[in-house]
Structure 1
């Protein structure tokens, strides 16, 4: 195991995205951190540790050999076939560099083909969507090729005051616009701040395996957003109910076999509390 005092070099693939950029900000003060971005963006292009990389056009092999990371966090998007090819290159790099850890950011979509129960870490993955099938393929590739170097981070709905969903909710409240909710969908959730804290801990402790970085309890999708709205203020958006079934369906990840310490766990109530805070309050913390 790598010595704690040795400064690790982390490469975040997809460092310009919501989760990737939050991880960059969390880890920057503690490690040597490099990130990738795809679209031309002034703020990233001027940052020396941000590397322009598009999975459809650029070589993962060249990127990895240029940076020589000891930890790779993959939160990359792009063409599905190119994503799969890129992760084959990641696995090949890790095979040649036994010290390198690979953390793959997956999601509840690997279980979107089952609806009757919540899903745990050791459950068989099954998906009916192309995105879910891709994530299953990448998980399988890494777990079979470099099992001792792989950590799978399955995420539920990730919220926060600056998350796309909460920003959209606030906009709908402001303009009295329609916001879609799913009354019969049971989910788990988390915040991006908690995910960053958990990933930091996982890196420090060199943890491997499959982790469900989700709340310990479940909630109906509609109830979650109604409660966040009621805590934000008195105004309401137009809640548009979307029914995919007459009965409750589950798209819920629950941690069971690989639980993190209590200080690194979260509940739905805590998610709601954080999402309803004002940005000014959060910036003071």
Structure 2
């Protein structure tokens, strides 16, 4: 199957590409890493506001599955996804897997949220993601799969590198005690998407741990398992317990694909304390 990943050079996109490349013909896009991908014919340069390049990529690749990990200006992203949806409508087949966010529920924090809860946001980011979800679903129906994710963690992810840097320098780290969130890893996202494609599953999926953890407590526990100094925190005090969590409720996903918060911490300890592969840290998915 031909798969096109918009944003394949990003942290989640690289993991998805690496997972799918063994069983699919995988293409991807990048923006700023021209030197890195100059010899890779299946990595294509794409600028978010260039509709001609997008059309050329879509017409050339003729993807059966499009995975969107795009980032950038909200209005440009929305326009790009409208163009993708219109291409799929003209093609009369194919589907899109759209990576969304827990922020589509950030106006309703009294409980964790499952796949079919009503979305409601109080932030520009959350409202943009809601608008994009709705547009794609309205245009494509069951040819659009929505993936909502909480914070992504993994080997040498930007959040871990920042935590390491800040604890070493005793730089205050922003934290939110009494806010309970769930977590995912780049590998879990890739595994779920591979399974969703393989089993031709449809609809909305929440990819994250089945439990939640206090935001500050997670930062403390992660610092411990990584052998770091205890962080210096800049706390934003939340008086009442609240949630920013998208819990997985779909029954089609096997138990082996699910994680708890302790699983994520154990995984991060294992991969982060292993020998660092410089190529993995600065490189990307090698799509051949």
Q: Normalising by structure 2, what TM-score?
A: 0.90
Deviation at residue 147 of structure 1 after TM alignment: 1.3
Partners of 2:33 and 2:276 in 1: CA distance? 28
Deviation at residue 283 of structure 1 after TM alignment: 6.8
Q: Normalising by structure 1, what TM-score?
A: 0.91
Deviation at residue 276 of structure 1 after TM alignment: 2.1
Render the CA deviation track for 1:65-96: whole Å, top value 9, x for unaligned: 11100110001112212211111111112222
Deviation at residue 16 of structure 1 after TM alignment: 1.1
Question: Residue 158 of structure 1: SS of its match in structure 2?
Answer: strand
In the alignment of these two chains, the number of paired residues is 276
Partner of 1:266: 259
Partners of 1:143 and 1:61 in 2: CA distance? 21
Render the CA deviation track for 1:160-181: whole Å, top value 9, x for unaligned: 1221111111112222322222
Aligned with 1:15 (options 8, 29, 35): 8
Partner of 2:87: 93
Which has the higher relative contact order, 1 or 2, with Cα contacts under 8 A spaced 6 or more apart? 2
Please list every run of 5 or more consecutive structure 1 residues that lacks an aligned counterpart in the other structure: 1-7
Partner of 2:119: 125
Partner of 1:3: none
**Alpha-carbon contact 1:161-1:276 (below 8 Å) kept:** no
**Alpha-carbon contact 1:182-1:241 (below 8 Å) kept:** yes
Aligned with 2:184 (options 177, 187, 190): 190
Partner of 2:286: none
Segments ≥4 residues shifted beyond 3 Å: none
Deviation at residue 237 of structure 1 after TM alignment: 2.6
Deviation at residue 127 of structure 1 after TM alignment: 0.9
**Alpha-carbon contact 1:56-1:78 (below 8 Å) kept:** no
Partner of 1:214: 208
Partners of 1:234 and 1:111 in 2: CA distance? 33
1:152-167 equivalences in 2 (<5 Å): 152-167=146-161
Please list every run of 5 or more consecutive structure 2 residues that lacks an aligned counterpart in the other structure: 278-288
**Alpha-carbon contact 1:152-1:209 (below 8 Å) kept:** yes
**Alpha-carbon contact 2:226-2:272 (below 8 Å) kept:** no
Question: Residue 87 of structure 1: SS of its match in structure 2?
Answer: helix
**Alpha-carbon contact 1:121-1:258 (below 8 Å) kept:** no
